[in-house]
Structure 1
Amino acid sequence: MARNISELLGKDADYLLGHKSKTISKDQLHTPNPNFVDQVFTLSNRSPQVLRSLQQLMDTGRLGGTGFVSILPIDQGIEHSAGASFAKNPAYFDPENIVKLAIEGGCNGVATTFGVLGMMSRKYAHRIPFIVKINHNELLTYPNKAEQIMFGSVDDAWNLGAMAVGATIYFGSADATRQIVEVAKAFERAHQLGMATILWCYTRNSAFKKDGIDYHVSADLTGQANHLGVTIQADIIKQKLAENNGGYKALNTGGSSYGKLDEKIYTELTSDHPIDLCRYQVANCYMGRAGLINSGGESKGASDLADAVRTAVINKRAGGMGLISGRKAFQKPLKDGIEILNAIQDVYIDKSIDLA
């Protein structure tokens, strides 16, 4: 297994598998393991019902019992338009095929919309943990705007058998304050009902792209988004993999004053290595007490398998909890989608791939 992973990583194999982090020590992290719920969440205010939901999520699929998770997210029918998302594979206009892919792909859970999970609830709610994505950016409004709105109630998610709810906040956007308050209240209600909570902690502001660099994926800005996410009691944080750093610095040029920073963020707590950038994201999740799952990103075709494995290796070696990958899997024939999901899971099963 390790040999195949090395082959997929290609020229980056030694760079990623041999890296020894000299930033935030791995000894400071709370890392995924079979007893993660006992070690972390039994110390928290989470109810026995929430603990059961978290444990069921972590005990399902090929990664069941490891503390790691592989989740299939398909909300792109709303977020990116159904046509753009499913044209490559029209079978996924049918919600049953979404749930089937998650089950046959060995995932811990399936994260998708009220409509998909409500339509398939009685057939599949007892077979795989449902994660209902409760808000979306509906994209059809013209001109488009970055505004997450609720598509249903937390109580409705519970009624259709969900183990968890998921939500997105566009941190940094003009609409962020409303979203923070709204999602915080929704997460409080979800915990009252015994469901776990997963937050898509995305940064969103046109000013975050500067001088040809996209700081939406900078370690400092995404790290702070993560820290805000765990503050409203998200149990698991979903974040794009950090690709650069210095977002605060870039936005503070030309006499502007944005946010606050410490130079140690750039000189001691991170480096330019992708594992160290991701570890800073983990650190902002209360040093891993809330699990970090990185997104798989868009489908690019032939490189998807290698790209997915690369992201999984970075996440695992940084101290993350797993991957939440959708487009790379569902925009392909079922067999190929399962292969990618299994390849991601193989990284977390492989004990030779350890913390950096």
Structure 2
Amino acid sequence: MIENENIKIPLDVPAKSRNRYRDNYLRITKGRERLMLFAGDQKAEHLNDDFFGEGIDREDNDPEHLFRIAASSNIGVFATQLGLIARYGMDYPSVPYLVKLNSKTNLIKAEQADPRSPLWIDVPQVVEFMESSKLDILGVGYTIYLGSEHEGEMLSQAARLVYQAHQAGLVTVLWVYPRGRAVADERDPHLIAGAAGVALTLGSDFVKLNYPAGAEEDRADLFKEAVQAAGRTKVVCAGGESTDARLFLQRLHDQIHISGAAGNATGRNIHQRPLDEAIRLCNAIYAITLDNASVDWAYRLYSGE
């Protein structure tokens, strides 16, 4: 557990917002400086591909499935767009939220045009919504496609939103993915480390990165470069496509205890399962991330043994 006085509050958090920032940071990390982020922003990012089809439980096609999981599981924060929160949040006021400020669909492929994902809403609007709705909004998030010909626009927007969020005492998470026609291999570990460093220069509290490519036994070591390059910006790893639960939990354990990552941001691997199984997997991920549980113990928790 981290004590209040040991939190390094960024200098762009003004005196009037320091208590709110400290409280939000402690709550989003459960006082352990690690983040278990349940990602529910794919309704825009991947359209209905992640919610309906072979291997996906039919419950997942109902958007409320995301909120049922978030309300019934151990998580640090549930990240999704403000519109979804506005439509369902009145029935789930106990959920800790992170508002995703930008998104794009997957219809335009990188070989057709470089990705561009400008703001949908800005931080002052989030603050207004937080105050009027009385919901538990702890932070904001934003995606940058590094290497896109539009990266300048996204970097500029990210810099401003991190500053504005800190001014309001909110925690920030940047999704930073190398992607576009200038990027030969977006899973290159050295390039991912560069993306981590960019998130640090933007002043973000956390950065969500893809796990590098490579043999499974080597990936955790390769990811160390990104964790070190991020400095005081904490690294969380994207969950990726749905996979075997045991392999997923082992990979998460290695990311934290070998690479030195500070948590995970998981969506599809959780919400594509039936509600009861999704809750059990959420709790197993939380146990590894926040409670330093072993893979065996977490897998038993997931299995219901």
Partner in structure 1 of residue 79 of structure 2: 111
Partner in structure 1 of residue 188 of structure 2: 218
Summarize the Cα distance change of 1:141–1:297 in structure 2 as closer, same or farther, 3 Å threshold: closer
Partner in structure 1 of residue 199 of structure 2: 229
SS at match of 2:21: helix
Partner in structure 2 of residue 291 of structure 1: 234
User: Which of these residues, 24, 28, 45, is aligned with residue 79 of structure 1?
Assistant: 45
CA distance in 2, matches of 1:283, 1:101: 33
SS at match of 1:329: helix
Partner in structure 1 of residue 134 of structure 2: none
CA distance in 2, matches of 1:106, 1:43: 27
After superposition, residues 160-171 of structure 1 pair within 5 angstroms as 160-161=129-130, 162-171=137-146
Partner in structure 1 of residue 25 of structure 2: 54
Deviation at 1:122, TM superposition (A): 3.3
Deviation at 1:235, TM superposition (A): 0.6
| TM-score, normalised with respect to structure 1 | 0.71
Where does the alignment leave 5 or more consecutive residues of structure 2 unmatched?
131-136, 296-305
SS at match of 1:55: helix
Could you give the per-residue CA deviations for residues 86-121 of structure 1, whole angstroms, max 9, x where no partner exists? 113454454433122123221111001111112123
Summarize the Cα distance change of 1:43–1:166 in structure 2 as closer, same or farther, 3 Å threshold: closer
Deviation at 1:175, TM superposition (A): 0.7
Summarize the Cα distance change of 1:351–1:73 in structure 2 as closer, same or farther, 3 Å threshold: closer
Summarize the Cα distance change of 1:315–1:42 in structure 2 as closer, same or farther, 3 Å threshold: same
Partner in structure 1 of residue 275 of structure 2: 334
Where does the alignment leave 5 or more consecutive residues of structure 1 unmatched?
1-33, 60-64, 210-214, 246-271
CA distance in 1, matches of 2:208, 2:228: 14
Asked if the contact 1:146/1:204 (under 8 Å) is kept, the reply is yes
Summarize the Cα distance change of 1:79–1:163 in structure 2 as closer, same or farther, 3 Å threshold: same
Asked if the contact 1:158/1:195 (under 8 Å) is kept, the reply is no
Summarize the Cα distance change of 1:291–1:186 in structure 2 as closer, same or farther, 3 Å threshold: same
> AA paired with 1:176?
E
SS at match of 1:169: strand
Summarize the Cα distance change of 1:179–1:140 in structure 2 as closer, same or farther, 3 Å threshold: same
Asked if the contact 1:53/1:196 (under 8 Å) is kept, the reply is yes
Summarize the Cα distance change of 1:72–1:352 in structure 2 as closer, same or farther, 3 Å threshold: closer
CA distance in 2, matches of 1:223, 1:324: 17
Bigger drift between 144-153 and 308-317 goes to: 144-153
User: Which of these residues, 121, 124, 147, is aligned with residue 155 of structure 1?
Assistant: 124
Asked if 1:41 is matched to 2:8, the reply is: yes
SS at match of 1:297: coil
Bigger drift between 340-349 and 310-319 goes to: 340-349
CA distance in 1, matches of 2:122, 2:182: 33
Q: Which runs of 4+ in 1 moved over 6 A?
A: none
Which one has the largest radius of gyration? 1
Q: How many residues align?
A: 277
CA distance in 1, matches of 2:127, 2:254: 34
Deviation at 1:276, TM superposition (A): 2.0
User: Which of these residues, 222, 227, 245, is aligned with residue 282 of structure 1?
Assistant: 227
Asked if the contact 1:154/1:190 (under 8 Å) is kept, the reply is yes
Asked if 1:350 is matched to 2:292, the reply is: yes
After superposition, residues 1-356 of structure 1 pair within 5 angstroms as 34-35=1-2, 38-42=5-9, 44-46=11-13, 47-48=17-18, 49-59=20-30, 65-81=31-47, 83-87=48-52, 88-125=56-93, 127-140=94-107, 145-161=114-130, 162-209=137-184, 215-244=185-214, 273-286=218-231, 289-300=232-243, 303=244, 305-317=245-257, 318-348=259-289, 349-350=291-292
Asked if the contact 1:133/1:166 (under 8 Å) is kept, the reply is yes
Aligned CA RMSD, in angstroms, stands at 2.4
Deviation at 1:178, TM superposition (A): 0.8
Summarize the Cα distance change of 1:92–1:118 in structure 2 as closer, same or farther, 3 Å threshold: farther
SS at match of 2:126: helix
Could you give the per-residue CA deviations for residues 53-104 of structure 1, whole angstroms, max 9, x where no partner exists? 1112122xxxxx43322111011111111x2121134544544331221232
Asked if the contact 1:296/1:311 (under 8 Å) is kept, the reply is no
